[in-house]
Amino acid sequence: MSFAYVFCVFVMIRKLESSTGINNLMRVSNAVVDLLTEASKASDFYLVRDKDFLITSQIEELRIKLNQKIHVLSKYHIENYFLNGEAIINVLKNLGLDTFNNSNQIDIKLKEIADSQRDDVIAQWIAFELHEELRKFNFNVGGENLEERLKERVAAQRERINDILGDSSIAVNLDEKKNYISDNWENIWRDFPPGRDILKEFVNLFVEGIKYDRFIHLLVRECIKLKTPEVDNLKSVILSELGFEQ
């Protein structure tokens, strides 16, 4: 089994999520997990997925639901593993682009792009958590007196919903996220925010005439060729989980 094959299901799910638009992203992810719960009972099933903003308890919940046949990345996107200046400059040189003199210049630009997206990261983080909280509420009702029963169900949960969405709760949540990002950004900017957004902006600014999908394909191959530590370690971990000797 090749390393590329390991990501087959992962890539299909990524394409499905992308095609639906950002507003449906998390809903599609949950639907896919439900769909694959039964599939995970097969001996040859294995899923790799982005970490997004999942916390440890949510990751463990997924592992249980999918019979431990899932690897959740330690970074937000698979693309975060390819934020590598050395690999990127090699790709640019192979494309005949001499925008940068060395890999350090690329690392600086990647960091600048990440810095410019900090507020977007906070907004996405809060949106993710709110969605996760609100999807726990069940408004399904049945039987007779539908309107009355629905009103009763909503009324019973309105206080908690208002608490989650209240101005004070949002303000506290926002401050907590801002403080965390401010205190940890220098150490987490390659891992925590959406790496796909960083790379897309880099390609948009500095890689003329090459579409993003083509660029990321070349970058993945280059990272594997260079055996960059993070990609090589990820490969080893996944193949080990699948029971293959290195």
Q: For residue range 176-211, what is the model confidence (pLDDT) as tens digits? A: 999 999 999 999 999 999 999 999 999 999 998 899
Residue 244 domain flag: no
This prediction has a pTM of 0.81
Region 101-128: what's the mean pLDDT? 97
Taking 60 as the threshold, does the pLDDT of residue 9 lie above it? no
Q: How many domains does one find in the chain? A: 1
Give 48's strand partners.
Answer: 71
Residue 185 domain flag: no
**What is the pLDDT, as a whole number, of residue 5?**
40
Residue 22 domain flag: yes
Taking 80 as the threshold, does the pLDDT of residue 111 lie above it? yes
Helices 25-39 and 8-20, packing angle to 10 deg = 150
> 204: which 2 tokens?
């948009």
Residue 11 domain flag: yes
**What is the pLDDT, as a whole number, of residue 192?**
97
Specify whether the CB–CB gap between 89 and 207 falls below 8 A. Answer: no
Residue 96 domain flag: no
Residue 61 domain flag: yes
Domain span at 37:
1-72
Residue 54 domain flag: yes
